[in-house]
Chains A and B, each alone.
Chain A
Amino acid sequence: MHRKSVAELSKALNKKDISSCELTSVYLDRIQAHSELNAFITVDRERALKQAQEADARLKAGTGTALTGIPIAQKDIFCTDGMLTTCASRMLANFVAPYDATVIRKFGEAGSVLLGKTNMDEFAMGSSNETSFFGPVRNPWDRRCVPGGSSGGSAAAVAARLAVAATGTDTGGSIRQPAALTGITGLKPSYGRVSRYGMIAFASSLDQAGPMTRSAEDAALLLNVMAGFDPLDSTSVDRPVPDYASTLDRPLTGLRIGLPQEYFGEGLGTGVAVAIESALEEFRKLGAKILEVSLPNSSLAIPCYYVLAPAEASSNLARYDGVRYGYRAPEYEDLWEMYAKSRAQGFGAEVKRRIMIGTYALSAGYYDAYYLKAQKLRRLISSDFDRAFEVCDVIMGPAAPSTAFELGSKTDDPVAMYLSDIYTISVNLAGLPGMSIPAGFDSNGRPIGLQIIGKYFDEARLLNVAHKFQQATDWHLRVPEGF
């Protein structure tokens, strides 16, 4: 039962071949059986089974949706009413949210079952899930390896079939890179497609939530629920939400795929390059045309991002001051010491590093040289994509330069870690939708992700392209041994 997709399970649930309670129990047991992956921070068995019962009643009444009764894991960055919402930080290790994020509310309304909250890099800052206060997540393909990050828990949970599907958030690659490293399908929608309300902010102008699933079809079903304007989020965009599942099967004949030469240069692992090349061959067979495009400012994406994202983060994380909720140092002399100690003890090293960088970049005398300059670069990077999309429909390339790396191998070298997101970051800076889909394995049997980048609000096209590929290949159906 745990090998089935959302679409298959939805059919079975609606036909009453299985009940949500049965299904939910299977997954809860699997989560427990594979706790060594450390994919979850919180699992609320009782709550999940209660939701499953409600879902079964709804299915019985015939008022179910495509997601009613489907057990889903939520990244622990979404505020969940009455449930621990930690952002994998000591700072929020005791924080029980008193309200639901819009994403959580929408899944609730659709009748899906919340299995638990998944592990992640602290405040979504990291590319390996090693910055979590709750310990690293293991990659189910190779437990010596990281699952990528920051949505590493969700990625591992979906790859190991501990949840039918999961949500992630992506600020610089945090859905696509772990999806690539764990062999699943991950979609970062266009900025503004999914409400950020209740999703704990890292870098507000870049953060976007999206589905992490076993297939493009499942991603479409989840995005149908997640997408849409939210009056509580001024940056969400008021555009109608198409039925993403209805356009999955469109033929790819004549599809123009742009290959940015900058994505195939130095630093790209050979195994990855080979896999991408054979994926492209598959697309040719499906009738697509491949052409070269250029994104000349690609090399500026990482420096640009590592000014803007920390700058926003330094301000977004100022609210964690020990005054109203969250961690407060046990001993302090006065107010300023309470602030300093609470924040010094409550945040991990990577978070503190980024707060320091961001504070510096916004400081008087440095603002123009860093923040303003980075904003200008951001526009340049964005116009690169505009120009490329004049000649192509989608852009393809690797999602990450390498496959999953071993735990601890990059923790002492932040810059090496930052380079894991070299192909994903510019998509966030431009606000575009991007996807990673499974496209093979390296010689160590570790998954490789193909990245597909789309035009603004062209998620339907991305899902269509990914789905057709998955109809022709079976990379996405591979399951790590023992799961």
Chain B
Amino acid sequence: MDWETVIGLEVHVQLLTNSKLFSGSSTRFGAEPNTQACAVDIALPGVLPVMNRDAARMAVKFGLAVGATINRRSIFARKNYFYPDLPKGYQISQYELPVVQLGRLAIEVDGVHKEIGITRAHLEEDAGKSLHEDFRGLTGIDLNRAGTPLLEIVSEPDLRSAREAVAYLKKLHVLVRYLGICDGNMQEGSFRCDANVSVRPRGQHAFGTRAEIKNVNSFRFVEKAIDYEVGRQIELIEGGGKVVQETRQYDSVRNETRSMRSKEEAHDYRYFPDPDLLPLQLDPGFIEETATDMPELPDAKRERFTREYGLTVYDAEVLTGSRDMADYYEDAVRAVPGQPKLTANWVIGEFSGYLNRDNVEVSGAPVTSDMLAGLVQRIADSTISGKIAKEIFEAMWDGEGDADAVIDKRGLRQITDKSAIEQVIDEVLTRNPKQLEQYRAGQDKLFGFFVGQVMKATQGKANPAQVNDALRKKLDGNRT
């Protein structure tokens, strides 16, 4: 049978506020356990939550970016369940009336454009962490994370393959970082994904029974987990079985999903409006103010890069992959006008390569956009060749100063003097009579050998185009 996959994603985005959603504790990652948990976070008797205005602003920003409805009035509810890392015995979340509703996000897979619906995005607090290792059979509780603000973004079941799911996630990942509302760090759990997966015979309107795969923490694993789950469900149904609605966990080591709890065991969360918090009221001024504070969004920026700088869609996509990268590129382009394509090649090539090699952020790169522009300038005006430029880039990265300083220090200025090049060519031909004879006997491929010898003799400084020209003239001019 021909099966169709149906996927909806729930993404938990940790908001980049300084303090927690309902208390003044810091949200910094990596502190000693329980050092960032105040009376409110550990739920002492008598404490009360107070809403963090910054978190509301970030939620609105996201809503505006996905063209959603911003609810001027939204309600915090309590989701009740017992767990040791949930200090109050309930999580404060938004249930019936979320702050953001009905948005959309465009994705592209294999050149096919598709709009994915966003059902809702709501604010909620994170729980703490249970630590099961290192306590000799006991469980440790770290409440530093308890109360950290999350925006849970729920998609419509519009995704039809694992690849679409990953495309959507990546798109969302870029977007939240653009908006400056999340650092996107998946290792630290700042961007987490649950996937609701079901299958149905193609053409059938009704959805199949879904399984929810919890907390997958990389794009690659999301794809693998969904693919595994789809395979499992199809195999199950075709073997005469039935998919049960349940929560499943992905094991990346064995590449499989395993049942965590079924619907029957599911909690009754007993949601009800939190009487300690008034409804979240957003006045139009607050929303307008947030709207004027919006950065250029990835899609718009990519489109502008292709239009304004004549870049390919691919190059524009790569350069707009993060706001830092795009800013870096544009800063460099501004410093060396007229070279957008060459600049793009260097940003996407060497610069990105070194960032990855050394695992540093754009902001921490030793080669600034001005330095890169200086290098591009020297390539463009033929002071150096592209090959030499790579050596210079490495020197700049290692802290030897800007391009001109490295060129001067290392004497890398390109030789463009015609007579100087011709002189070197003559010497090379004189030193290699055998090869010259073979070339003249028809071994054309030896041309490259002569070019190499000339470049070697000039330590790569000779202008390659001029070397080619002059050599061609010398060799072929004498060929009869």
Contacts and interface: CB of A to CB of B under 8 A. Distances in A.
Given A319-B89, A323-B141, A335-B84, A98 B268 contact: no
Given A319-B87, A321-B82, A335-B84, A199 B46 contact: yes
B44 A315 contact: no
B43 interface: yes
A87 B47 CA distance: 14
Interface in A195-234: 196-201, 203-205, 231-234
B380 interface: no
B48 A234 contact: yes
Interface string B49-81: 111000000000000000000000000001010
Interface in A363-410: 363-364, 367, 371
Contacts of B271: 362, 367
B275 interface: yes
B48 A233 contact: yes
B276 interface: yes
A312 B46 contact: no
Given A235-B278, A339-B82, A362-B80, A79 B45 contact: yes
Nearest to B81: A318
B46 A79 contact: yes
Nearest to A196: B48
A198 B46 contact: yes
Contact of B44 (A98, A196, A231, A235): A98
Contact of B39 (A98, A314, A363): A98
A315 B90 contact: yes
A479 interface: no
B272 A234 contact: no
A483 interface: no
Contacts of B82: 318, 321, 339
Interface string B9-51: 0000000000000000000000000000001001111111111
Nearest to A375: B273
A325 interface: yes
B277 interface: yes
Q: Which size bracket describes the interface of B in this complex?
A: 20 to 34
A79 B44 contact: yes
Interface string B82-116: 10100111100000000000000000000000000
A318 B91 CA distance: 11
Given A101-B46, A196-B48, A318-B89, A312 B275 contact: yes
Interface in A328-343: 335, 339
B45 A85 contact: yes
Nearest to A317: B89
B270 interface: yes
A97 B80 contact: no
Interface of B is mostly: loop
Interface residues of A, number: 44
Given A204-B276, A318-B82, A321-B89, A234 B270 contact: no
The listed residue with most B CB atoms (<10 A of its CB), out of A201, A234, A335, is A234
Contact of A234 (B49, B78, B89, B268): B49
A314 B45 CA distance: 14
Contacts of B90: 315, 318
Contact of A362 (B43, B50, B272, B278): B272
Given A318-B90, A323-B141, A234 B276 contact: yes
A312 B274 CA distance: 9
A367 B51 CA distance: 26
Contacts of B45: 79, 85, 87, 92, 95, 97, 200-201, 319-320
Contacts of B49: 234
Contacts of B47: 197-198
Contacts of A235: 48, 275-278
Contacts of B48: 196-197, 232-235
A200 B141 CA distance: 24
Nearest to B24: A232
Given A318-B88, A335-B84, A364 B268 contact: yes
> Across chains A and B, which 9 residue pairs bring their CB atoms closest together, nearest first?
A318-B89, A205-B275, A362-B270, A204-B275, A198-B46, A319-B43, A200-B45, A79-B46, A364-B268
Given A98-B44, A233-B50, 16 more contacts: A87-B45, A97-B44, A98-B39, A200-B45, A203-B275, A205-B275, A234-B50, A234-B278, A312-B275, A319-B43, A319-B87, A324-B42, A335-B139, A339-B82, A362-B270, A363-B270
Interface of A: 78-79, 85, 87, 92, 95, 97-99, 101, 196-201, 203-205, 231-235, 311-312, 314-315, 317-321, 323-325, 335, 339, 359, 362-364, 367, 371
19 contacts: A79-B44, A85-B45, A87-B45, A97-B46, A98-B44, A101-B46, A197-B47, A198-B47, A201-B46, A204-B276, A235-B278, A315-B89, A315-B90, A317-B89, A318-B80, A318-B88, A324-B43, A367-B271, A367-B272
Interface of B: 39, 42-51, 78, 80, 82, 84, 87-90, 139, 141, 268, 270-272, 275-278
